[in-house]
Amino acid sequence: MASEAVAVKIQEGVAVDAVVPAASETSAQRKILLKSVEGEEFLVDELFARGSKMISNMIDDGFTEGAIPLPNVTAPVLSKVVEYWKHHVGKSETDKDAREFDRAFVKDASSSVLFDIIMAANYLDCKPLLDLACQAVADAIRDMNVEQVRGFFGITNDFTPEEEAAVLEENREWSNALTVTGNGQKESNEGGNIVLP
Amino acid sequence: MPSEPMNKKRRRKRRSNPSPPLPSSSPSSEQQEEEEEEVGLVGFHLKPSASSKSHTIQPLGNLLLLSGSSSNARDPGLGSLRPLPDDLLLDILTLLPAPDLARLAAVSKPFYVFSTHDPLWRNLVLRDLGGDFLFNGSWRSTYSGLVFPHPSISIRDFYSDYLFQSWLCANLDMRPEWLRTDNIDRRRGISVDEFIARFEEPNRPVLLEGCIDAWPAMAKWAPDWLIRTCGDKRFAVGPVKMTMERYFRYAAAAREERPLYLFDPRFAEKAPELGSDYEVPTFFREDLFGVLGEQRPDYRWIIIGPAGSGSSFHVDPNSTSAWNAVIKGSKKWVMFPPEVVPPGVHPSPDGAEVACPVSIMEWFMNFYSACRTWKKRPVECVCKAGEVVFVPNGWWHLVINLEDSIAITQNFVSRRNLLNVLDFLKKPNASELVSGTKDRTSLHDKFKNAIEAAYPGTIDELTLKAKEKIAREKKPTFWESVADANVGGFKFSF
């Protein structure tokens, strides 16, 4: 996945000194070396790497030599994170290109990839990416019924029959309450029926 | 005093080990039937209202301490969500509308536990119902109007530090040892000059007794009276506005980690009788922002909150000083001087953000004992009804209501901290940091000009005094004397 121009696989054996930035480079040109849990190294513009608050703090704290190890992030996930930074860091929030990227980014991601990205974004402290991935999961399960949610996450029903009946009854009362009283909320059941199986 | 951003989602990182309760003994089948939810919470001061039946979630430490093959009921029922920590799981659920969240309860037991987590429903109530809600015992019940037996299914062997800590903090009372220290200076009947010389000028906190006894508010203000007097007027409560009646209904029943409190800067405009029921104590009458008239930043608030409500560590905005008078109830204060950052608090370099990710209760549980061994120990007190606390500018402070409380607080600028305030307003990021006005960027200029107009020459006079003071107190280094023409030129300092 590390096919982007920014993320370059480093050959083993290349001295790290060879990629330490020269003092005369500005931060816009300086590159940072990131190392995934498998040891794979990614050379990333400092500007993009600062998309992670954690990395940004490490740079500010004087971490200038060698690779920044990221033991909680695998190479495939790190690659996607770097892609995200490339499309977002330094751009305005309404940038069309960034939004288009986001749409494709979440559309093609499986739920396990999304979870990995959620945990990586949390670890790296990259809130916009965390929000994006969480929203993608929420959007996926919204409007799903109970069986569909179970299927989506691979969950076996662990209620006893009595318990399940009790919870479903609770849900039925819920959906009645939302239809009948309305309770002032803007989002009652669209069209008048919440189907809570 | 600013309120915390209560409605803002905070990246709360819980400490991984809440003070471990004693483990329940190895469960035999009879014991399990008997007290299956008993976690052995010896040593915790739980509120009387916290029943052991109402919590069925245990901290992760208990899972490790149990012998035999025990597993966490949390994990299988989450499927592929299992590796996500609880706080991230809740972050996802926060994004769902109410009907979807309600439906998830039927998916599996852990989903039931998470989707009925009351703070999620608090967000939904505040977002969807605004200040119109009739609190119904829990946020979930409030949203639907239904009352739920809690819980409707039995939950055993569910271990989660995050959820347990959340329940614990909502149901803890303050420990006696947290309330014991009262080392603030207390004064009664001192003159204004003495206050200025001993406390305001040197920027030291003090608790003043006996200076608000004559306030009509002391005799009159009480929940019923406020409800009658304020009628339909709405007051700021977190992100919404509510009538007194609806607020007190909530406050009487609230059992949560960060209860909402009423904190309104326009209370005297909304209900003029409130404004005339108190007056500013003589010590604080010099109030230079007054030169701005209607354009001044927010400066006075009524604060009403139940036990447990309050504000975790912060510094007041605009570099102002403050006073806080308790009319009903009592408050615990913990204060640190400006140069001492409290444990557990991480201000950003520009001061724009104060990250204190822990709630007040968590702070006491995890950080309070640490700072008591420091050289610069905090100033602490319990401020009771009829007493007034002076918070000097720049001081960190944490406040928690120990019981249902009603108070008035005002921020002010006197000549003693005028220069500080002007400096603060001059800062390049002042527009983010300056609070309480609609027109932030030119507040500095407006204020400075207004002061010059009303009190000509004052600023120059104060600036001169300040420089003289610095020169007196500090011997310049060699290089400073060479470089700084203002400090009387070249001086040898050896």
> Token match 């000059």: residue?
B193
Reported ipTM: the value is: 0.76
- Which band of pLDDT confidence, cut at 50, 70 and 90, is reported for residue A28? low
Query: Would you call A57 an interface residue with chain B, using a CB distance cutoff of 8 Å?
Result: no
pLDDT at B3: 39
> Token match 């490790």: residue?
B64
Contacts of A164 in chain B (CB under 8 A): 106
How many other CB atoms are found less than 10 A from the CB of residue B214? 11
Q: Across residues A139-144, what is the average pLDDT?
A: 91
Alpha-carbon span A175 to B416, nearest angstrom: 61
Contacts of A77 in chain B (CB under 8 A): none
Chain A / chain B CB contacts < 8 angstroms: 130
pLDDT at B11 over 70: no
pLDDT at B96: 96
Give B395-412 pLDDT, tens digit per residue. Answer: 999 999 999 999 999 999
A167 contacts B84? CB cut-off 8 A: no
The answer to whether A59 touches A46, Cβ cutoff 8 Å, is yes
pLDDT at B108: 92
List CB contacts of B120: < 8 A, sequence separation 6 or more.
Answer: B90, B93, B94, B101, B139
For residue B370, give how far its alpha carbon lies from the nearest alpha carbon of chain A (Å).
Answer: 26
The answer to whether B488 touches B471, Cβ cutoff 8 Å, is yes
pTM of the model: 0.79
Give A86-140 pLDDT, tens digit per residue. Answer: 999 888 878 888 888 999 988 878 888 999 999 999 999 999 999 999 999 999 9
pLDDT at B350 over 70: no
Q: Across residues B253-282, what is the average pLDDT?
A: 95
Mutation target among B11, B92, B120 for the A interface, most CBs of A within 10 A: B92
Q: What is the mean pLDDT of chain A?
A: 78
The answer to whether B281 touches B390, Cβ cutoff 8 Å, is no
pLDDT at B26: 38
For residue B7, give how far its alpha carbon lies from the nearest alpha carbon of chain A (Å).
Answer: 17
Alpha-carbon span A55 to B247, nearest angstrom: 44
- Which band of pLDDT confidence, cut at 50, 70 and 90, is reported for residue B241? very high
Mutation target among A54, A113, A118, A172 for the B interface, most CBs of B within 10 A: A118
CA A89 to chain centre: 15
Q: DSSP per residue over A117-144, as a string?
A: HHHHHHHHT-HHHHHHHHHHHHHHHTT-
Alpha-carbon span B405 to B308, nearest angstrom: 10
**Which of B11, B80, B96 is the closest to A142 by Cβ?**
B96
Contacts of A163 in chain B (CB under 8 A): 153-154
Which among B447, B194, B144 has a CA at the least distance from the CA of A173?
Answer: B144
B97 contacts A142? CB cut-off 8 A: yes
Query: Would you call A110 an interface residue with chain B, using a CB distance cutoff of 8 Å?
Result: no
Query: Would you call A178 an interface residue with chain B, using a CB distance cutoff of 8 Å?
Result: yes
**Which of A138, A150, A181 is the closest to B107 by Cβ?**
A150
List CB contacts of B398: < 8 A, sequence separation 6 or more.
Answer: B310, B311, B312, B313, B333, B334, B335, B342, B360, B363
Of A26-30, B287-291, B322-326, B470-474, which one has max mean pLDDT? B322-326
**Which of B85, B106, B132 is the closest to A146 by Cβ?**
B106
Between B206 and B464, the higher pLDDT residue = B206
Contacts of A72 in chain B (CB under 8 A): none
A145 contacts B148? CB cut-off 8 A: no
Nearest CA in chain B to A146: B107
Give B72-105 pLDDT, tens digit per residue. Answer: 777 788 888 988 999 999 999 999 999 999 999 9
Q: Say which range, A129-143, B338-352, B440-454, has the weakest mean pLDDT.
A: B338-352
